[in-house]
A and B are shown apart, each in its own frame.
Chain A
């Protein structure tokens, strides 16, 4: 049993394979029994310097279900930060009011810095375009739940593979489990070479495609992401590629029975609503899994499990 007490979670690489599995096992226990008053005398600071729906609410829901008091803010405009208080001072103050801090910030590296300043452990709920490790943990949990294992899977990643931080973290994490990667994206939004380096170092295979149709039949998981219009300087370029990375129920014909479609949400048009009623859709359950994974993380880091 690894000890995660007081161990910050800033980047997915802060934890190792054993620690991922420990958290996933604990998440399964919380899914069985999500309401336990094990954090009755604990205060969780939930500080969101930029808007978030799913992540913030699932963290606050996770903490509340375990009996913790939740303090914090969802809008820094109403705090002393709007008066120009530094991140350093905000974290110093908050770490004396709470037992653990959950933080989202628009600036990259803010979470690592805040963890160095804080006297209590900190969980990164997203720092700019850098890291969002709890999303990755819930993606791993969803893959484990739907496939029964994390080992030797065919993982297809679709959409904006260049800027999508969830994709980068998932690739890095799945490199621990002998995955084969199928990368589907417009040419302009291919997976960066620094991320491909993780796959190469792990001596695993990846294949690149520009159309999803070529990868459907081999996939155990299809992980969809949004292709955002603002990533393209020429709107025509966007129009040309936007339909190469969308799926509907007919796209999934011929897929394996065990295949499941994941998406970090929110979705736009990349998954047609007719996929929702197929047995392959898993993205809403995936979002719900976020609560159990975050319960597991808070409990483990506070040393209560």
Chain B
């Protein structure tokens, strides 16, 4: 177990919770949205345009007192494919995980077919990932496959 390093302290350390690192700077707010952190009542610390050796600039999100299921974290793979998830307990890193594009994506995306039932009635969208590189998904309802990803509002 390694103690959380000084660079991550730039945004302020958390005692318990999750750090989501290596988020592209343009998608930090999308990650917040996808993980439902817009309405989270405890502390959420956000860093944007932090220096990154690997990516030049990066974003980081620290969420106090919250741990995520891998299946939830995988949803952010669509906008932050290189994100690293760091689980913190008592200021210490107890686990590091990477995200993976899931086989199925529920709710967060919108079907691009304007004549799809999901764009006509209040229905939660469901997509099957039929290709990961490049990303290609298929709507569970209208069965259209698409490479353009649109997030639900």
Contact = CB atoms under 8 A, between A and B. Distances in A.
Interface of A: 11, 86-88, 106-110, 112-113, 127-131, 194
Interface residues of B, number: 16
Contact of B142 (A86, A88, A108): A108
Interface in B124-153: 139-145
Contacts of B113: 108
A109 B145 contact: no
A198 B144 CA distance: 15
B94 interface: no
A127 B120 CA distance: 14
A118 to B, nearest CB: 14
8 contacts: A87-B121, A88-B121, A107-B115, A107-B116, A108-B116, A109-B117, A112-B141, A128-B142
B143 A113 contact: no
Contacts of B123: 113
A200 to B, nearest CB: 14
A73 B9 CA distance: 66
B145 A110 contact: no
B117 A87 contact: yes
B137 to A, nearest CB: 12
Interface of B: 111, 113, 115-118, 120-121, 123, 139-145
Contact of B143 (A87, A106, A107, A108): A108
B121 A108 contact: no
- Nearest 10 pairs of A and B residues by beta carbon: A109-B141, A108-B142, A109-B142, A109-B117, A110-B117, A113-B117, A112-B141, A109-B116, A107-B117, A108-B115
Nearest to B120: A107
A109 B143 CA distance: 7
A131 B140 CA distance: 13
A110 B141 CA distance: 7
B145 A130 contact: no
A4 B141 CA distance: 22
Contacts of A127: 142
Nearest to A109: B141
A110 B117 CA distance: 5
B141 A128 contact: no
Nearest to B111: A109
Nearest to B125: A109
A108 B141 contact: yes
A194 B145 contact: yes
A300 B123 CA distance: 30
A199 to B, nearest CB: 16
Contacts of B141: 108-109, 112-113
A106 B116 CA distance: 10
B143 A130 contact: yes
